Amino acid sequence: MLELIPLFMFVVVCLALMLGYPVAFTLAGIALLFAGFGIVFGHFDTHLLLAYPDRVFGTVSNITLIAVPLFIFMGVVLERSKIAEELLENMGHACSRFPAGLGLSVVLVGAMMAASTGIVGATVVTMGLMSLPTMLKRGYNPALACGTICATGTLGQIIPPSIALVLLGDIISSAYQQAQLNLGIYNALPISVGDLFMGAIIPGLLLVVFYLAYLMYIGARHPQQAPAVADDEVSGTRLLLSIFPPLLLVILVLGSIISGAATPTEAAGVGAIAAIILALLKRKLSWEIMAGVVESTTKVTTMVFAILLGASLFSLVFHGFNGEALIADFFSALPGGKYSALLVVMLIIFLLGFILDFIEITFLVVPLIGPVLLQMGFDPIWLGIMIAINLQTSFLTPPFGFALFYLRGVAPKSVATTAIYRGVFPFIGIQVLVLLLLAIYPALATWLPYALRP
């Protein structure tokens, strides 16, 4: 019975989070509660808790995690300065004369926003407020319009520089080091956030291409669902000027990482400064807007690091009760070997995506299962991308997908919730297809990062 204590810890945490308790304090509080019972009954080593201050210091001094507030800042500047809104308006005018043209512009702008901001909730809300009323006014099927916006908004989960990939990359890196040490390998090449960024480029582009192909199919076969609309002309110069700022940010951030000129943290700093300069050049930034940007960035960053510190304490206590051994024994007992273990983990992460945000899953689940899976021989970059796309899919899946809640909060009351649910199913199918392609052809995620290594 004692060996099941880690399982009870995990179940209690999930139940508490479902009841709405704050994530960071729930993780830390339940960890301390179980540790206290373990100390009282002689089943937990008190000295393990002395390692927690070192974990806190390691977190706050982690250079990689400095990229988190910088990328958040960059995304909020683009959002508050209306640069993305101007881009969507001009792209909509340019494309709306074609069947499904407005939908295509939403996907293209959403992909560019994802590559510039990396924040899923902000992208879904922004795209919902800007494009959904226009799409409905121009005769788009409500389900198709909602599905397009929800799916496009979740691209920020996988397209670099995604905040999810920054956090996931740091956790995967630590898990990989731990797995290699457990296997007696002391000179393995480290895995970085930049590796995960490069590994996500091809799968992210595949998703965008498949989204566009699906919309073009609808436009060709069912034009009444996504009609072409005679619209005001937009000059090429005006369109180019609206595309240039986010495109420049993408080139600066990803280009510097891929070329090896900068680490993800350094690239995040370049992106943050470039976002300010671009907003100033377009006269879209004021002291009032800047104050809101700083406040929003501080709130999100504080939330991320509070969850990380709470999850670190939970992980410490979990390992103190031999939770890793429990997971390893469970996986080794599964028929089908490591692939059955991977399937179970993916299913668990998918289901947890209904009730937990990606930050919570990244900090709570991945440190527990990551080392075990990596010891079984899975590639860390491939595993990280698989987890990221899996989470992206769970955010779209009714009835609890987070992207659906985000859009429901800003959609007109005339749009039925069932329409939002119906609209996302084709895009869920596309994401499952990309997951299957990645499972069959791991090189889609691993070729680029390994090819660019020195």
Cα 100 from Cα 144, distance rounded (Å): 10
Do 242 and 90 form a contact (C-beta atoms < 8 A)? yes
Among 28-37, 98-107, 110-119, 316-325, which stretch is predicted with the lowest mean pLDDT? 110-119
Give the CA-trace dihedral at 257, 259, 261, 266, to 10 degrees: -10
When pLDDT is cut at 50, 70 and 90, the band that residue 296 belongs to is: confident
More confident residue, 343 or 96: 343
Query: Residue 326: its pLDDT value, please?
Result: 79
Contacts of residue 269, defined as CB under 8 A and 6 or more positions apart, other chains included, come to 70
Query: Residue 118: its pLDDT value, please?
Result: 57
Query: Residue 437: its pLDDT value, please?
Result: 95
Query: Residue 180: its pLDDT value, please?
Result: 84
DSSP secondary structure of 274-309: HHHHHHHHTT---HHHHHHHHHHHHHHHHHHHHHHH
* Residue (of 386, 47, 370, 361) closest to 178 by Cα position: 370
More confident residue, 366 or 447: 447
Query: Residue 438: its pLDDT value, please?
Result: 94
Query: Residue 202: its pLDDT value, please?
Result: 93
Q: Is residue 212 scored above 80 in pLDDT? A: yes
More confident residue, 124 or 28: 28
When pLDDT is cut at 50, 70 and 90, the band that residue 271 belongs to is: confident
The per-residue pLDDT for range 98-114, each reduced to its tens digit, is: 778 888 888 888 887 77
Cα 59 from Cα 61, distance rounded (Å): 5
Average pLDDT score over residue span 137-144: 87
The per-residue pLDDT for range 58-95, each reduced to its tens digit, is: 888 888 888 888 888 887 887 777 777 777 777 777 77
* Residue (of 263, 275, 278, 201) closest to 65 by Cα position: 263
Query: Residue 439: its pLDDT value, please?
Result: 92
What stretch of H or E contains 8? helix 5-18
Cα 280 from Cα 234, distance rounded (Å): 23
Query: Residue 232: its pLDDT value, please?
Result: 59
Give the pTM.
Answer: 0.84
| Residue 43, Cβ density class (10 Å: 0-12 exposed, 13-18 middle, ≥19 buried) | middle
Tokens 């052809």 label which residue?
A: 441
State both tokens at 270.
Answer: 């370049």
Query: Residue 8: its pLDDT value, please?
Result: 87
The per-residue pLDDT for range 404-442, each reduced to its tens digit, is: 877 887 788 888 888 888 999 999 999 999 999 999 999
Query: Residue 38: its pLDDT value, please?
Result: 87
Cα 90 from Cα 427, distance rounded (Å): 25
More confident residue, 336 or 413: 413
Cα distances (angstroms) measured from residue 347 to each of 342, 393, 394 = 9, 11, 10
Phi-psi region at 139: left, alpha or beta (left = phi > 0; alpha = psi -120 to 50): left
Query: Residue 231: its pLDDT value, please?
Result: 62
Do 149 and 128 form a contact (C-beta atoms < 8 A)? yes
Do 224 and 218 form a contact (C-beta atoms < 8 A)? no
The per-residue pLDDT for range 41-52, each reduced to its tens digit, is: 888 888 888 888
State both tokens at 196.
Answer: 């995960």
* Residue (of 1, 246, 235, 216) closest to 105 by Cα position: 216
